[in-house]
Structure 1
């Protein structure tokens, strides 16, 4: 499964929040195509030069987008995820502490719609020299042929760092999420 490539065009849900703003800037510095942000009631603003819309539907009317990364508080994550699932092919949920019943509903809805969900409680996905969708520190990754998949963000970082130090680069590293219920298990990545 190829999760992130040069054709991935992402929007950031919760882009106007502190974490959304910070990680949008970091993702863009790593060549990730962030084409829009969504925060209800904040449409018309810009964050890091990225246009902000009130909804994904409105964003899709204005920009070409096929993925979402969610940086919204846990109480709002279910609604944000459902909105993404209705309109996009890939949804990455960074948010942690989402109620388990909400997560179960998100995953059932995504499965019914055929949408790939990474997370929740994920550090995201990185393909060195291509881009990253998440919160991973980029300096520990190097381009190569080894894939890394982990439920733990910290272990993902440690494995990638050790591989890089040994001269072994990575093709893609995926943190599938540390919560009890996740969208994409090891076998599907």
Structure 2
């Protein structure tokens, strides 16, 4: 079992004729993802990697029965691409694009209210259920099928955590990169709820970073609701205050959103804290042993 994507997921690639999209389309197909269509305006009736290209998402979804899409279009067109996917009533939309203006994402966020579509991203690496479905830009080979969920704001730290787990023989149920922008579709709590309800996820790695209060909110939710052990790591401990570090959301404002604050809240809420990125795997092993779950997860 997994959350949100599996071998039956039927995927559209929006912007498929671009260099980045065509490259990752090939990677996703080779991993086993069921890519059923591409979309690129005015380029319908062509093919990319043997995949039929349509002019609109609605047409592609209707013709192929797709239920998910991934967006690789430039930032100035990305919000419209998301809205088009929502209007096509796709269940899941993953937006890889970075540098989308905040005002555009405000429109998207409001438009999503009451709709059936779940948005992951933007500015994210995507989602993968190892051995079944990879929708995104993550390196598939570092993943291993198993029973640990991973959710992260940082793409690079996601890969580092997954690599450590796999090297220790610990597989992953689903790995979700939610993105590091200030306004995103799916947040930590959304993913944690799904993992908490998934009978085949035994524990979770949650990777956050400085800026905002998403990690604090998630920690309080974990304290009240989570039935499974959670390992947490916060990136950006050494970042200078007031300076944006990489992600648009990774900025400390008015003394809030510091690594120290987040780590304290997480620890107070019963989360096992990894002090460094290289200790995430070992911290998870300790947490699983404490909860008598280690043998089940390897």
Provide, for residues 129-181 of structure 1, a one-character-per-residue CA deviation record: whole Å limited to 9, x for no partner.
00100000111111110000000000100000000111111111000011111
Instruction: Please tell me the root mean square deviation across aligned C-alpha atoms, in Å.
Output: 1.0
Q: Distance in 1 between matches of 2:104 and 2:116?
A: 18
Q: Distance in 1 between matches of 2:61 and 2:184?
A: 26
Does the CA-based 8 Å contact 2:15-2:39 persist in structure 1? yes
User: TM-score when scaled to structure 1?
Assistant: 0.97
Q: Distance in 2 between matches of 1:49 and 1:57?
A: 20
Q: Secondary structure at the match of 1:75?
A: helix
Describe how 1:75-114 pairs up with structure 2 within 5 A.
75-87=76-88, 88-114=90-116
Does the CA-based 8 Å contact 1:12-1:20 persist in structure 2? yes
The Cα shift of 1:17 comes to 0.2
Partner of 1:175: 177
Provide, for residues 52-91 of structure 1, a one-character-per-residue CA deviation record: whole Å limited to 9, x for no partner.
0000122123211000100000000011000001111111
Q: Secondary structure at the match of 1:148?
A: strand
Q: Secondary structure at the match of 1:85?
A: helix
Partner of 1:53: 54
Unmatched segments (≥5 aa) in structure 2: 192-298
Does the CA-based 8 Å contact 1:107-1:117 persist in structure 2? no
User: TM-score when scaled to structure 2?
Assistant: 0.62
Higher strand share: 1
Does the CA-based 8 Å contact 2:54-2:60 persist in structure 1? yes
Higher relative contact order (CA 8 A, sep 6+): 1
Structure 1 segments, 4+ long, off by >6 Å, are none
Matched positions, count:
189
Describe how 1:13-32 pairs up with structure 2 within 5 A.
13-32=14-33
Q: Secondary structure at the match of 1:41?
A: coil
Q: Secondary structure at the match of 1:60?
A: helix
Rg larger for: 2
The Cα shift of 1:114 comes to 3.0
